[in-house]
Amino acid sequence: MINKRYILTLFCVICCCFLQAQEDNNSQEADTSKTAKNQLPDGLKEKDDVVLTDSSKIKKVKLPREYDPLAPSRAAFYSAILPGLGQAYNGKYWKVPIVVGAITTGILFYDHNNKQYNRVRDAYKRRLAGFTDDEFYGRLTDDGLREAQKTFRRNKELSLLITFGLYALNIVDANIDAHLLQYNINEDLSLKPHYKLNEIDNQGDVGLTLNFKF
């Protein structure tokens, strides 16, 4: 009888110790997770979701921006006012010099062709008036001046068309980029093209690879 009581008492003590240890372990894990979120390591921001995979590894998951339905139209409006401003609003600062440089190049090409067109046209008008003191006299005939006018006029119209196209593309890019920034893009899911050389017939195979990491 004494042995049974002793065994029962020992069993109860072991159960109590086990439950207390389990409770302490859960409390310690909760404190560790809270501390990891409050004291973020280098490279993590406050808006990043921190997931503890084990005691030594921390996985960083980038959370999407808070959804703002006016953000795309606001970014497009900024780019319409000043090219590149919408890209800066989206945080894509590396796109700003590309947008500004592309549109500026188009404007410079238009200005160059417009000046050359005006020079040739003025010289041709003086030829028609009977003057022979233009800068192209002796180098270009009347037919050459007419062809030069057509060439420079076509070039300046093409430059103007390309510049307007780049301006519109700048607006569209800012709008679409603002849309995409509000979606959570998970790196565990990817769709990538691949090219592989077939060893049997020595020909290349092109396809798509869908990867999903659990």
Residue 202 lies in a domain: no
Q: Are residues 77 and 55 in the same domain?
A: no
Q: Are residues 49 and 98 in the same domain?
A: no
Q: What percent of the chain has pLDDT over 90?
A: 39
Identify the pLDDT of residue 194: 65
Q: Are residues 53 and 146 in the same domain?
A: no
Q: Are residues 98 and 184 in the same domain?
A: yes
Q: Are residues 125 and 170 in the same domain?
A: yes
Full domain range(s) for residue 118: 71-189
Q: Are residues 90 and 46 in the same domain?
A: no
Q: How much is the pTM?
A: 0.57
Q: Which residue has the higher pLDDT, 20 or 138?
A: 138
Q: What is the enclosing helix (H) or strand (E) of 59?
A: strand 58-62
Residue 213 lies in a domain: no
In single-letter form, the type of residue at position 150 comes to K
Identify the pLDDT of residue 137: 83
Find out whether 72 and 179 touch, Cβ atoms under 8 Å: yes
Q: How many CB atoms lie within 10 A of CB 149?
A: 18
Where residue 202 falls (left for φ over 0; alpha for ψ -120 to 50; beta otherwise) is: left
Q: Are residues 42 and 142 in the same domain?
A: no
Choice among 40-49, 91-100, 166-175, 181-190 with the minimum mean pLDDT: 40-49
